[in-house]
Amino acid sequence: MTEETEDETEELRNLIRRARVVLWDFDGPICRLFAGHSAERVATDLARWLESRGLHGLLTREERESLDPHVVLRAVDRRHPGSDLVAELEERLTQEELRATGSAMPTAYADPLIRTWTAVGSRLAITTNNSPRVVREYLAGRDLVDCFTPHLYGRSQDLHHLKPDPHCLNRALNAMGAAPETALMIGDTPSDLLAANSAGVPFLGYARNERKEKLLREAGATHTVRSLRSVLRQVRAQA
């Protein structure tokens, strides 16, 4: 073990030791929601649905080609905030996410880590840009709902509250009566990091590949892991 690895292990140990509350992003740290149900296709289908209603002009070329459903959703909300159109588009995305749960791929070590953290007395919450209906269905299928209930905070039709806005993190902290410095957020995107920073919550980046790690580091993440195995090991060691 190199000195750098030892330092990183000590940083991780300290993050976990201080955490009384753990705020989890959903798609990424817990599962790959669109592992078998392409997010790119969902984004394209949403854009085509808008086109079929004569609303092609609502999206810029970059937004149409983003291949991210949330980019499409945010773009429409910026131009028609709080409209029936936004509500219908959000529901269409929710239905696509619900269909994706059947082929979602669990993140390695996530299930035992969630159960272990719960068993040692930590409180867990979901803070996600996905629909809470989707989160609940996935967790029920993995017998993990009780590890989080009732603290599932996700997307509503108030799309300006999506991360990087810290709204869902603040809701979780307030509901759990937890100070930000006693919490830890696990996320895999720069928007997760920005939300955690805004809420004053320490952040642990989960990066399943080099590209994800690079994006997190460039956004300012000071600690990332490529596998949740190291986190599980530390939680068990501190039990």
Check pLDDT > 90 for residue 35.
Answer: no
pLDDT in tens, 135-191: 999 999 999 999 999 999 999 888 999 999 999 999 999 999 999 999 999 999 999
Domain boundary among 49, 72, 102: 102
3-class secondary structure, 231: helix
Question: Which one-letter amino acid corresponds to residue 113?
Answer: L
* Same-domain pairing of 213 and 130: yes
pLDDT at 5: 65
* Same-domain pairing of 27 and 143: yes
Q: Average pLDDT, stretch 53-71?
A: 85
Rounded to whole angstroms, the Cα distance separating 3 from 87 reads 52
* Same-domain pairing of 115 and 155: yes
Q: Average pLDDT, stretch 90-109?
A: 95
Structural domain of residue 148, as residue ranges?
3-33+105-238
pLDDT at 1: 32
pLDDT in tens, 196-219: 999 999 999 999 999 999 999 999
* Same-domain pairing of 62 and 172: no
DSSP E strands, the chain? 21-24, 31-32, 105-106, 123-127, 152-153, 183-187, 203-206, 224-225
pTM: 0.92
CATH number at residue 109: 3.40.50.1000
